[in-house]
Chains A and B, each alone.
Chain A
Amino acid sequence: MAKLHVSTTINGEPTEFLCEPSQSMLDVLRGPLGLTGSKEGCGSGDCGACTITLDGRLVCSCLVLAAEAQDREIRTIEGMAEGDRLHPLQQKFLEMAALQCGICTPGVLMAARTLLEQNPDPTETEARFWLAGNLCRCTGYDKIIRAVLDTAAEMREAAR
Chain B
Amino acid sequence: MTDIRYLAPRTLDEAVGAFAAARGAARILAGGTDLLVQMRAGAVRPGLIVDIKRIAEMTSIEETADGGFRIGAAVSGAVLGEHPRFGQVWPGVLEAVNLIGSTQVQGRASPGGNLCNASPAGDSVPAMIAADAVVTVQGPDGRRQMPVAAVPAGPGRTNLAPGEILVSFTLPPRPRGAGDAYLRMIPRTEMDIAVVGCGVNLTLRDGTCTAARVGLGAVAPTVLLVGEAGKALVGSRLDAAAIEAAAAACRAACRPIDDKRGTIAYRTRIAGVLLKRTVGIAADRAGRA
The verdict on B40 contacting chain A, using a C-beta distance below 8 Å, is: yes
With a CB–CB cut-off of 8 A, which chain A residues contact B32?
A: 63-65
Closest B-chain residue to A56, C-beta based?
A: B107
Taking a contact as CB atoms under 8 Å apart, the answer to whether A68 and B8 are in contact is: yes
Q: Verify A1–B37 contact, CB threshold 8 A.
A: no
Q: In the bound complex, do residue B6 and residue A130 qualify as a contact, i.e. CB atoms below 8 Å apart?
A: no
Judge if A24 is at the interface, Cβ distance under 8 Å. yes
Query: Interface residues of B, CB < 8 Å — how many?
Result: 29
Segment from A42-50, A87-95, A141-149 that makes contact with B:
A42-50
B3 contacts the other chain (CB 8 A): yes
Judge whether B29 is part of the interface by a CB distance below 8 angstroms. yes
Question: How far apart are the CA atoms of A149 and B188 in the complex, in Å?
Answer: 24
Asked if B2 contacts A43 (CB within 8 A), the reply is no
In the complex, what's the smallest C-beta–C-beta distance from A112 to chain B, in angstroms?
11
Q: Is the CB of B108 within 8 A of A59?
A: yes
Q: Does B239 contact A (CB under 8 A)?
A: no
> Is A70 an interface residue when CB atoms closer than 8 A count as contact?
yes
Stretch among B96-104, B245-253, B255-263, B266-274 lining the A interface: B96-104
- Report the minimum CB–CB distance from A28 to chain B (whole Å): 13
Contact of A132 with B4 at beta-carbon distance under 8 Å, contacts A63-B108, A65-B32 already known = no
A58 is an interface residue with CB less than 8 A from chain B? yes
Known: A45-B101, A133-B104. A1 touches B6 (CB 8 A): no
Whether A63 lies near B37 (C-beta < 8 A) is: yes
A68 to B74 Cα, complex, angstroms: 14
The answer for the CA separation of A114 and B105 in the assembled complex, in Å, is 14
Give min CB distance, B227 to chain A, whole Å.
35
Residues of B within 8 A of A43 (CB): 40
Distance (Å) between the CB of B121 and the closest chain A CB?
A: 16
Query: Would you call A48 and B78 a contact (CB within 8 A)?
Result: no
Task: Say how far A135's CB is from chain B's closest CB, in angstroms.
Answer: 9
8 Å CB interface, A30-49 against B: 43-46, 48
Determine if B5 is an interface residue (Cβ-Cβ < 8 Å).
yes
B169 to chain A, nearest CB (A): 21
* Given known A-B contacts A58-B103, A60-B105, A130-B103, A68 and B37 have beta carbons under 8 A apart: no
Tell me the minimal C-beta distance from A47 to chain B in angstroms.
10
- Chain B nearest CB: distance from A140 CB in Å? 16
CB contact list, A131-160 vs B, under 8 A: 131-134
Of B33, B40, B191, which one neighbours A132 at CB under 8 angstroms? B191
Whole-angstrom CA separation of A131 from B8 in the bound complex:
31
- Checking B8, B31, B36 against A24 with a beta-carbon cut-off of 8 angstroms, the contacting residue is B36
B49 interface hit (Cβ, 8 Å):
yes
Which residues 96-137 of A sit at the B interface, judged by CB distance below 8 A?
A: 111, 114, 129-134
Pair B105/A21 contact, Cβ less than 8 Å: no
B190 within 8 A of A: yes
Query: Which A residues lie within 8 Å of B33 (CB)?
Result: 45, 63
Interface centre among B3, B103, B191 (most CB of A within 10 A): B103
Q: Give the distance to chain B from A29, nearest Cβ to Cβ, in Å.
A: 15
Contact indicator B40/A54 (Cβ below 8 Å): no
A interface, CB within 8 angstroms of B = 1, 4, 20-22, 24, 43-46, 48, 51, 54, 57-60, 62-65, 67-68, 70, 111, 114, 129-134
Please provide the 3 A-B residue pairs with the shortest distance between their CB atoms, ordered closest to farther: A133-B102, A21-B6, A57-B107
22 residue pairs of the A-B complex, CB under 8 angstroms, read A4-B6, A21-B4, A24-B36, A43-B40, A44-B37, A45-B33, A45-B101, A48-B102, A48-B104, A57-B78, A58-B104, A59-B108, A60-B104, A63-B31, A63-B32, A63-B36, A65-B36, A65-B49, A67-B6, A67-B8, A129-B190, A130-B103
